[in-house]
């Protein structure tokens, strides 16, 4: 299992996000998930390193200086139980530190 984590991605089509939030009573559309990712202060994708399939993501709200609060973690059902969610959880803070260092 080779998973790649990205905090930046080129135009991600909504179709790449179909099937997320499958356990929700009323799951959002793939387009709504794409808008959530695009509108988040921080969003990190987990992708299959071989196929490029998006297998999970984490989003966070942030003040851009000190705080980032995870708002959503999703992993595709077929990929659960492999530790992807646990590896996604701390990534927004690392992304914020990288962005802060780049501004200095």
So what's the pLDDT on residue 53? 94
33-to-1, 8, 57, 98, 99 alpha-carbon distances in Å: 25, 16, 10, 25, 23
Cβ–Cβ < 8 Å for 38, 10: no
pTM over 0.75: yes
pLDDT of residue 95 exceeding 80: no
Most confident of 1-5, 26-30, 87-91: 26-30
Judged by DSSP in three states, 17 sits in: helix
pLDDT cut 90: percent of the chain above it:
62
Distance CA 7, CA 66 (A): 18
Domains plus CATH for the chain? Answer: 3-103 (3.40.630.30)
Distance of CA 98 to the CA centre of its chain: 16
């Amino acid at each position: 299992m080779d998973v790649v984590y990205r905090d930046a991605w080129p135009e991600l089509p909504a179709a790449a996000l179909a099937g997320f939030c499958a356990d929700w009573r009323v799951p959002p559309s793939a387009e709504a998930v794409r808008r959530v990712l695009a509108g988040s202060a921080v969003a990190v994708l987990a992708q299959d390193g071989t196929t490029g399939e998006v297998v999970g993501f984490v989003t966070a709200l942030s003040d851009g200086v000190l705080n980032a609060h995870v708002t959503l973690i999703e992993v595709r059902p077929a990929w659960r139980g492999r530790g992807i969610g646990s590896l996604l959880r701390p990534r927004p803070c690392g992304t914020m530190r990288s962005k802060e260092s780049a501004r200095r």
